[in-house]
Structure 1
Amino acid sequence: MLVNCVMERDSSVGTLYEAKEIDNGTISGTGRFNTTMAFYPSSSFYYPITEFPYQVNLNQQLYVQVQLTRAEPSLHLFIDSCVASPNHDFSIRTYDLIRNGCRRDNTVTIYRNGDRYFAQFSFRAFKFLRTHNQVFLRCDVVICADNDYNSRCRQGCRYRRKRSLSSDHHTAVVTLGPITQKDPEEAVAKSEDKE
């Protein structure tokens, strides 16, 4: 099996599942910018979580980093919006976490956004997990040149949408998921084993 990917301007990339068996697999790609999004266990953002699906407790703090695949100090990455949905194609019910660079959910904490080649935020696992088996995230990001002082990355949170003064920026959509809720009985058993 041979898979080729070509990333065009304003393209969409998603991580939604993990292959269990790889037979003679090769991954290669070309593109202007590659972005990735991953969950982390804490606000230190050292090692990404590789568990799939990511099982969490209701109201657990979730840490997310979106970044350029290759560290590039001359570029900045800005999360313009980030939504959650119980559906991987985001065609039904979405819930705003970040909109226009501003936090829209009171559990969201934005650690870094628009001043490095990565952006970081956290939020609490929320009500979707009570009524749906799984939740997916989709973030719209803007990539700007460090020396563009009028870029969307430098404008930060804007409660009202206005046209960017910069004409040269790249946008991408990254998706991540699913998040699933841990079985309450399993979580109790694990906590009893630790005692």
Structure 2
Amino acid sequence: MSQETIVEFVYMPEDTIEFSETEEGHYEVAIAFFQSPSFYERVMQSPYYVNLDQELFVQATLQTSDPDLQLLVDTCEALPDPQNTTLQTYGLIRQGCVEDTTYQSYPSPSMDVARFSFRAFEFLKEHSSIYLRCKMAVCSVNDPSSFCTQGCFSRRKRSLGTPHQEVEVIVGPIQLLQ
């Protein structure tokens, strides 16, 4: 065979198969209280003692190395016992819609971090301690129709969009300073 000869071999299959792949992951979200809106100094004490009407700063962080995921606070509520979900709860935000007038979102340094605050409320007077239970949505950053970009709508009106994961996290206890 001469040195300048090129040999090609092409295989043409009779049938072709098309497939799409969907990956589903399990995500961890860390949630913590912070001392101020700078979100620099984390509250380390447990239980977290607060005054009535004190502003509480919360940060949730998605534990992932995937830069194409974002985190959204879907639902957060205060409850007296994280083990007993039948007890009365106090809603701060539900399905992306703010329920408590003191709830405030804060800008986040990245898409995998969600920050917000709320004020300690009368619910603390009724219970010796409370916990914060949040459902966080994990969505693709590159999907403009994702659950995370739809904003506040009731479930009936909110389109399904693309699939997302929900992660439930609980932090507490929070107790009223005597």
Give the shorter-chain TM-score range: 0.7 to 0.9
Q: Which has more radius of gyration?
A: 2
- The equivalences for 1:70-81 within 5 A come to 70=64, 72-81=66-75
The 10-residue stretch of structure 1 (162-171 or 42-51) with the greater mean CA deviation from structure 2: 162-171
- The equivalences for 1:7-22 within 5 A come to none
1:111-131 Cα distance to aligned partner (Å, 9 max, x none): 248x71111111110111112
Secondary structure, aligned partner of 1:46: coil
* C-alpha separation in 2, matches of 1:63 and 1:163: 28
Counterpart pick for 1:127 among 96, 101, 122: 122
Distance 1:139 1:59, change over 3 A: same
* C-alpha separation in 2, matches of 1:164 and 1:119: 22
* C-alpha separation in 2, matches of 1:182 and 1:111: 26
| Structure whose residues are more often helix by fraction | 1
Deviation of 1:169 after TM superposition, in Å, equals 1.4
- On the 8 A contact 1:100/1:161 being kept in 2, the answer is no
1:121-166 Cα distance to aligned partner (Å, 9 max, x none): 1111011111211011111111001111110111122245435433
Distance 1:148 1:39, change over 3 A: same
- On the 8 A contact 1:62/1:125 being kept in 2, the answer is yes
Counterpart pick for 2:170 among 175, 182, 188: 175
The answer for the alignment partner of 1:17 in structure 2 is: none
The answer for the alignment partner of 1:53 in structure 2 is: 47
Deviation of 1:167 after TM superposition, in Å, equals 3.1
Counterpart pick for 2:136 among 141, 154, 160: 141
The TM-score normalised by the length of structure 2 is 0.78
The answer for the alignment partner of 2:145 in structure 1 is: 150
* C-alpha separation in 2, matches of 1:46 and 1:71: 22
* C-alpha separation in 1, matches of 2:66 and 2:102: 30
* C-alpha separation in 2, matches of 1:168 and 1:64: 26
- On the 8 A contact 1:72/1:117 being kept in 2, the answer is no
Secondary structure, aligned partner of 1:91: coil
Runs of 4+ in structure 1 deviating by more than 2 angstroms, as ranges, are 69-73, 159-168
- On the 8 A contact 2:57/2:118 being kept in 1, the answer is yes
The 10-residue stretch of structure 1 (153-162 or 101-110) with the greater mean CA deviation from structure 2: 153-162
Secondary structure, aligned partner of 2:125: helix
Gaps of 5+ in 2: 1-23
Give the letter for the 1:59 counterpart: D
* C-alpha separation in 1, matches of 2:153 and 2:65: 27
Question: Matched residue pairs, number?
Answer: 153
